[in-house]
Chains A and B, each alone.
Chain A
Amino acid sequence: AQTVTQSQPEMSVQEAETVTLSCTYDTSESDYYLFWYKQPPSRQMILVIRQEAYKQQNATENRFSVNFQKAAKSFSLKISDSQLGDAAMYFCAYRSALDGANSKLTFGKGITLSVRP
Protein backbone atom coordinates (compact mmCIF):
# COMPACT_ATOMS: atom_id res chain seq x y z
CA ALA A 1 0.00 0.00 0.00
CA GLN A 2 1.08 3.50 -0.69
CA THR A 3 1.83 5.93 2.12
CA VAL A 4 2.34 9.66 2.17
CA THR A 5 4.29 11.31 4.96
CA GLN A 6 4.23 14.94 5.96
CA SER A 7 6.39 15.12 9.04
CA GLN A 8 6.01 18.82 9.82
CA PRO A 9 2.62 19.61 11.41
CA GLU A 10 3.06 23.37 11.28
CA MET A 11 5.15 26.00 9.56
CA SER A 12 5.23 29.76 9.54
CA VAL A 13 6.51 32.17 6.92
CA GLN A 14 6.87 35.91 6.69
CA GLU A 15 4.78 37.59 4.05
CA ALA A 16 6.69 37.93 0.74
CA GLU A 17 9.19 35.26 1.78
CA THR A 18 9.59 31.75 0.42
CA VAL A 19 8.63 28.57 2.22
CA THR A 20 9.07 24.90 1.37
CA LEU A 21 6.70 22.20 2.55
CA SER A 22 8.07 18.67 2.66
CA CYS A 23 6.46 15.43 1.58
CA THR A 24 7.75 11.92 1.10
CA TYR A 25 5.88 8.91 -0.17
CA ASP A 26 6.34 5.21 -0.50
CA THR A 27 5.20 3.13 -3.44
CA SER A 28 6.30 0.20 -5.53
CA GLU A 29 4.60 1.58 -8.62
CA SER A 30 6.39 3.42 -11.38
CA ASP A 31 3.49 5.38 -12.81
CA TYR A 32 1.50 7.64 -10.54
CA TYR A 33 0.43 11.21 -9.84
CA LEU A 34 1.36 13.49 -6.98
CA PHE A 35 -0.60 16.49 -5.80
CA TRP A 36 -0.58 19.33 -3.35
CA TYR A 37 -3.97 20.47 -2.13
CA LYS A 38 -4.77 23.57 -0.13
CA GLN A 39 -7.56 23.65 2.43
CA PRO A 40 -8.26 27.17 3.70
CA PRO A 41 -10.50 27.87 6.71
CA SER A 42 -13.53 27.50 4.43
CA ARG A 43 -12.57 23.78 4.23
CA GLN A 44 -12.90 23.76 0.42
CA MET A 45 -10.16 21.58 -1.05
CA ILE A 46 -8.26 23.40 -3.77
CA LEU A 47 -5.77 21.76 -6.12
CA VAL A 48 -2.51 23.70 -5.99
CA ILE A 49 -0.29 21.68 -8.27
CA ARG A 50 -0.04 18.28 -9.92
CA GLN A 51 2.92 16.22 -11.05
CA GLU A 52 2.96 13.15 -13.28
CA ALA A 53 5.64 10.71 -12.20
CA TYR A 54 6.77 10.04 -15.76
CA LYS A 55 7.59 13.70 -16.28
CA GLN A 56 11.08 14.68 -15.18
CA GLN A 57 10.34 18.38 -15.33
CA ASN A 58 9.08 19.85 -12.07
CA ALA A 59 5.59 21.31 -12.24
CA THR A 60 5.11 25.04 -11.74
CA GLU A 61 1.97 27.11 -11.22
CA ASN A 62 2.70 30.79 -10.79
CA ARG A 63 4.18 31.18 -7.28
CA PHE A 64 3.98 27.48 -6.58
CA SER A 65 6.55 24.96 -7.71
CA VAL A 66 7.58 21.48 -6.73
CA ASN A 67 10.84 19.65 -6.31
CA PHE A 68 10.07 16.13 -7.46
CA GLN A 69 12.79 13.62 -6.69
CA LYS A 70 11.48 10.28 -7.93
CA ALA A 71 14.37 8.14 -6.76
CA ALA A 72 14.21 9.64 -3.30
CA LYS A 73 10.38 9.57 -3.35
CA SER A 74 10.27 13.17 -2.31
CA PHE A 75 7.80 15.81 -3.44
CA SER A 76 8.20 19.21 -1.79
CA LEU A 77 6.18 22.34 -2.48
CA LYS A 78 7.80 25.74 -2.69
CA ILE A 79 5.68 28.83 -2.24
CA SER A 80 7.38 32.01 -3.38
CA ASP A 81 6.40 35.55 -2.41
CA SER A 82 4.07 34.23 0.27
CA GLN A 83 0.78 36.03 0.67
CA LEU A 84 -1.65 36.21 3.56
CA GLY A 85 -4.12 34.21 1.49
CA ASP A 86 -1.70 31.30 1.39
CA ALA A 87 -2.41 30.57 5.03
CA ALA A 88 -4.13 27.20 5.05
CA MET A 89 -3.67 23.52 5.63
CA TYR A 90 -1.72 21.87 2.83
CA PHE A 91 -2.02 18.21 1.95
CA CYS A 92 0.33 16.15 -0.15
CA ALA A 93 -1.45 13.34 -1.98
CA TYR A 94 -0.63 10.32 -4.12
CA ARG A 95 -2.73 8.62 -6.74
CA SER A 96 -1.89 5.52 -8.68
CA ALA A 97 -2.09 5.58 -12.47
CA LEU A 98 -3.58 2.08 -12.24
CA ASP A 99 -7.11 1.18 -11.08
CA GLY A 100 -8.74 3.30 -13.78
CA ALA A 101 -11.56 5.53 -12.66
CA ASN A 102 -11.48 4.07 -9.14
CA SER A 103 -7.95 5.27 -8.57
CA LYS A 104 -8.13 7.02 -5.22
CA LEU A 105 -6.11 9.66 -3.44
CA THR A 106 -3.93 8.83 -0.47
CA PHE A 107 -3.37 11.92 1.65
CA GLY A 108 -0.63 12.88 4.03
CA LYS A 109 -1.52 14.20 7.47
CA GLY A 110 -1.27 17.78 6.29
CA ILE A 111 0.67 20.81 7.40
CA THR A 112 -0.76 24.04 8.74
CA LEU A 113 0.92 27.04 7.16
CA SER A 114 0.61 30.44 8.77
CA VAL A 115 1.74 33.66 7.11
CA ARG A 116 2.99 36.52 9.25
CA PRO A 117 2.22 40.03 8.02
Chain B
Amino acid sequence: GAVVSQHPSWVICKSGTSVKIECRSLDFQATTMFWYRQFPKQSLMLMATSNEGSKATYEQGVEKDKFLINHASLTLSTLTVTSAHPEDSSFYICSARDRPVAAGELFFGEGSRLTVL
Protein backbone atom coordinates (compact mmCIF):
# COMPACT_ATOMS: atom_id res chain seq x y z
CA GLY B 1 0.00 0.00 0.00
CA ALA B 2 0.85 3.66 -0.06
CA VAL B 3 3.40 5.02 2.40
CA VAL B 4 3.05 8.00 4.68
CA SER B 5 6.10 9.10 6.62
CA GLN B 6 6.26 11.33 9.67
CA HIS B 7 9.29 13.11 11.00
CA PRO B 8 10.51 13.29 13.67
CA SER B 9 9.28 10.10 15.29
CA TRP B 10 9.98 11.58 18.68
CA VAL B 11 11.00 14.98 19.95
CA ILE B 12 11.72 16.52 23.33
CA CYS B 13 11.58 20.26 23.72
CA LYS B 14 11.58 22.90 26.39
CA SER B 15 8.42 24.66 27.43
CA GLY B 16 7.81 27.78 25.34
CA THR B 17 9.54 26.57 22.21
CA SER B 18 7.87 25.60 18.94
CA VAL B 19 8.06 22.20 17.33
CA LYS B 20 7.36 21.25 13.72
CA ILE B 21 6.22 17.78 12.67
CA GLU B 22 6.24 16.78 9.01
CA CYS B 23 3.92 14.37 7.26
CA ARG B 24 4.87 13.20 3.78
CA SER B 25 3.11 10.98 1.30
CA LEU B 26 5.99 9.14 -0.36
CA ASP B 27 4.42 7.51 -3.39
CA PHE B 28 1.19 9.34 -4.01
CA GLN B 29 -0.21 12.82 -4.06
CA ALA B 30 -2.39 13.66 -1.10
CA THR B 31 -4.79 16.54 -1.57
CA THR B 32 -6.19 15.87 1.88
CA MET B 33 -4.35 15.03 5.08
CA PHE B 34 -5.62 14.65 8.61
CA TRP B 35 -3.91 15.32 11.92
CA TYR B 36 -4.77 13.39 15.09
CA ARG B 37 -3.73 13.50 18.68
CA GLN B 38 -3.61 10.40 20.86
CA PHE B 39 -3.09 10.09 24.59
CA PRO B 40 -1.84 6.80 26.07
CA LYS B 41 -4.35 3.96 25.74
CA GLN B 42 -6.93 6.30 24.28
CA SER B 43 -8.47 6.78 20.89
CA LEU B 44 -7.35 9.07 18.12
CA MET B 45 -8.84 12.54 18.28
CA LEU B 46 -9.07 14.40 15.01
CA MET B 47 -7.47 17.82 15.29
CA ALA B 48 -7.80 19.18 11.78
CA THR B 49 -8.27 18.44 8.11
CA SER B 50 -5.59 19.79 5.84
CA ASN B 51 -6.16 20.53 2.17
CA GLU B 52 -3.37 21.39 -0.20
CA GLY B 53 -3.22 25.09 -0.95
CA SER B 54 -5.92 26.15 1.48
CA LYS B 55 -6.39 26.79 5.16
CA ALA B 56 -6.87 23.83 7.43
CA THR B 57 -10.24 23.09 8.97
CA TYR B 58 -9.93 22.63 12.72
CA GLU B 59 -12.16 20.54 14.93
CA GLN B 60 -14.07 22.22 17.70
CA GLY B 61 -11.90 22.93 20.69
CA VAL B 62 -8.60 22.81 18.83
CA GLU B 63 -6.71 26.10 18.96
CA LYS B 64 -5.66 26.96 15.43
CA ASP B 65 -3.09 29.51 16.65
CA LYS B 66 -1.57 26.85 18.86
CA PHE B 67 -1.47 24.10 16.28
CA LEU B 68 -0.45 25.60 12.95
CA ILE B 69 -1.03 23.39 9.95
CA ASN B 70 0.43 24.03 6.54
CA HIS B 71 -0.22 21.90 3.48
CA ALA B 72 1.91 23.65 0.89
CA SER B 73 2.39 20.77 -1.52
CA LEU B 74 0.62 17.60 -2.58
CA THR B 75 3.08 15.49 -0.63
CA LEU B 76 3.77 17.48 2.51
CA SER B 77 1.74 18.75 5.43
CA THR B 78 3.28 20.18 8.58
CA LEU B 79 1.98 20.61 12.11
CA THR B 80 3.69 23.23 14.24
CA VAL B 81 3.00 23.24 17.95
CA THR B 82 3.69 26.82 18.97
CA SER B 83 4.85 27.84 22.43
CA ALA B 84 4.61 24.25 23.57
CA HIS B 85 3.71 23.43 27.16
CA PRO B 86 3.79 20.15 29.07
CA GLU B 87 0.07 19.59 28.44
CA ASP B 88 0.84 19.48 24.71
CA SER B 89 2.88 16.33 25.27
CA SER B 90 1.17 13.64 23.26
CA PHE B 91 1.39 11.33 20.29
CA TYR B 92 0.55 13.05 17.02
CA ILE B 93 -0.46 11.03 13.97
CA CYS B 94 -1.15 12.11 10.42
CA SER B 95 -3.03 10.32 7.70
CA ALA B 96 -3.38 10.98 4.00
CA ARG B 97 -5.98 10.02 1.44
CA ASP B 98 -4.63 8.47 -1.73
CA ARG B 99 -7.44 9.72 -3.93
CA PRO B 100 -9.46 12.95 -3.71
CA VAL B 101 -12.73 11.12 -3.17
CA ALA B 102 -14.49 9.69 -0.14
CA ALA B 103 -13.67 6.17 -1.31
CA GLY B 104 -9.98 6.97 -1.28
CA GLU B 105 -8.08 4.94 1.24
CA LEU B 106 -6.46 6.55 4.25
CA PHE B 107 -2.87 5.73 5.11
CA PHE B 108 -1.29 6.60 8.43
CA GLY B 109 2.12 7.87 9.35
CA GLU B 110 4.17 6.24 12.08
CA GLY B 111 3.30 8.97 14.53
CA SER B 112 5.40 11.51 16.40
CA ARG B 113 5.80 11.49 20.14
CA LEU B 114 6.18 14.97 21.60
CA THR B 115 7.44 15.49 25.12
CA VAL B 116 7.51 19.02 26.46
CA LEU B 117 9.64 19.56 29.54
Which of A's residues lie within 8 Å of B, judged by CB?
33, 42-45, 47, 89, 91, 95-105, 107-110, 112
Contacts and interface: CB of A to CB of B under 8 A. Distances in A.
B57 A102 contact: yes
A103 B43 contact: no
Contacts, number: 62
Interface stretch (B11-19, B63-71, B73-81, B103-111): B103-111
A4 B14 CA distance: 37
Interface string B10-34: 0000000000000000000001101
Q: Which of A89, A96, A105 has the most CB of B within 10 A?
A: A105
Interface of B: 1, 31-32, 34, 38, 41-44, 46, 49, 51, 57, 91, 93, 95, 97, 99-106, 108, 110-111
19 contacts: A33-B103, A42-B110, A43-B38, A43-B110, A43-B111, A45-B44, A45-B108, A47-B1, A89-B41, A96-B102, A98-B102, A100-B100, A100-B102, A101-B101, A102-B51, A104-B34, A105-B44, A108-B43, A112-B41
